[in-house]
A = this chain, B = another copy of it.
Amino acid sequence: MSVISIQLGNNLYCKDPQSTELGKKIVLHSIKLISELGFEAFTFRKLSMQIDSTEASIYRYFDNKHRLLVYLIAWYWAWMEYKIEYETHHLGNPQEKLDRIIRLITEKKVPDDTFPDIDEEALNKIVIAESDKTYLTKRVDKDNQNGLFKGYKSLCDHIAALILNINPNFTFAHALASTALEASNQQVFFAEHLPSLTELSKLEDPYSANYHFVKNLIFKTIDA
């Protein structure tokens, strides 16, 4: 039995949280706490109490809570890439691949037994409500230089390449890919909190509706 783990660039942490028990506890409980409290109300102090440790110990893994958030989001996108690779490598044409990716991105997230230390459902909540905060800061350029957004950019690239495969003349492949990725999460947030901004909450199955919305958005837009 081989153990799969998601390896992340070493700029994403001070000390690799996957390398120790404490590190794993930090990740596990930070997902729980951030999804419950929201990122603003989340503090290392609260986390340290939750895991019976100290602030100082947590600071040895992550410089600050923003870095921890960036790490979690990066883990999420690396996980998505892994799932996409797994579920699309056997597919023949780019249309099918793209369709499958859209399904994976929009579907309801359930616990993935491959990674028992991560609550993927709670992490998805964080991605929906907090991921924009990873780059909406004054540090974005430095963070980008340090490769903190590599995973997301790579996924965007991946989707853009398929789009260009389907229609080589489409000018805005990356723009459409990033728009679709952002929208797929944003619409879920709107459905729950600002329902007049979307139809998703009115339809029987919001996840399926989201899938159809995003699929339609992409395929109609790139059609030559």
Contact = CB atoms under 8 A, between A and B. Distances in A.
A51 interface: no
A7 to B, nearest CB: 21
Interface stretch (A18-26, A52-60, A116-124, A174-182): A174-182
Interface residues of A, number: 51
Copies of this chain, count: 2
A40 B136 CA distance: 10
A197 B137 contact: no
A91 interface: no
A138 B156 CA distance: 29
Contacts of A197: 152-153, 156, 174-175, 177-178
Contact of A200 (B133, B153, B175): B175
Contacts of A172: 198-199, 209, 213, 216
A223 interface: yes
A132 B135 contact: no
Most B CB contacts (10 A, CB to CB) among A37, A172, A189 go to: A172
A79 interface: no
Most B CB contacts (10 A, CB to CB) among A176, A177, A179 go to: A179
A67 to B, nearest CB: 14
Given A40-B137, A172-B213, A220-B223, 10 more contacts: A38-B137, A132-B132, A153-B196, A156-B197, A175-B187, A175-B199, A177-B197, A182-B183, A217-B221, A220-B220
Given A138-B38, A217-B217, A221-B221, A156 B196 contact: yes
Contacts of A198: 172, 174-175, 178
A29 to B, nearest CB: 18
Contacts of A38: 137-138
A199 B174 contact: yes
A1 interface: no
A41 interface: yes
